[in-house]
Amino acid sequence: MPTAGEVATELDVPVAIVQEAYAKLGEGHVFVCDQDDPSRLRMAAPFSAVPTAFKVSARGGAYYGNCVWDSLGIISLLGGDGTVETPCPDCSKPLSLQVTGGKLVESDCVVHFSVPARRWWDDIVFT
């Protein structure tokens, strides 16, 4: 994931303009910048810019989702076929969710959100 400085260099614009754009996109809940370095992206919904427990394979590529919801969103954005691999948060058993033709293939998994959706942006990295 390029830094704001790298994007500025590529576009031949001042880094302040790119950082301002990152901030505006953050206000709109599109980007989340690294808490310690706002020139680095942490998330560009639904993609994670850092490794997570949600590994997504779709359209020949490998990605990280921020959560299972975002991971399924990545597959949807990339055509509706793919796999999410993640450990069970309860027992650490490997879990696999397969999506084919935009539909989740039968699974005995349960998706649980411990934080209500209305509170996700209180601390989106934790959520």
pTM score: 0.85
Please compute the mean of the pLDDT values over residues 24-41 and round it to a whole number. Answer: 91
The CA distance from 126 to 115, in Å, is 10
Q: Does 16 have pLDDT greater than 90?
A: yes
First to last CA, the chain: 22
Closest CA to 55 of 43, 42, 67: 67
Q: Kindly state the DSSP code that residue 91 receives in the 8-state scheme.
A: T
Q: What is the pLDDT of residue 79?
A: 96
Q: Summarize pLDDT for 78-124 with one digit per residue, the tens.
A: 999 999 999 998 899 999 999 999 999 988 888 778 889 899 888 88
Q: How many residues belong to the chain?
A: 127
Please compute the mean of the pLDDT values over residues 39-62 and round it to a whole number. Answer: 95
Contact partners, residue 96, CB within 8 Å, separation at least 6 = 83, 84, 85
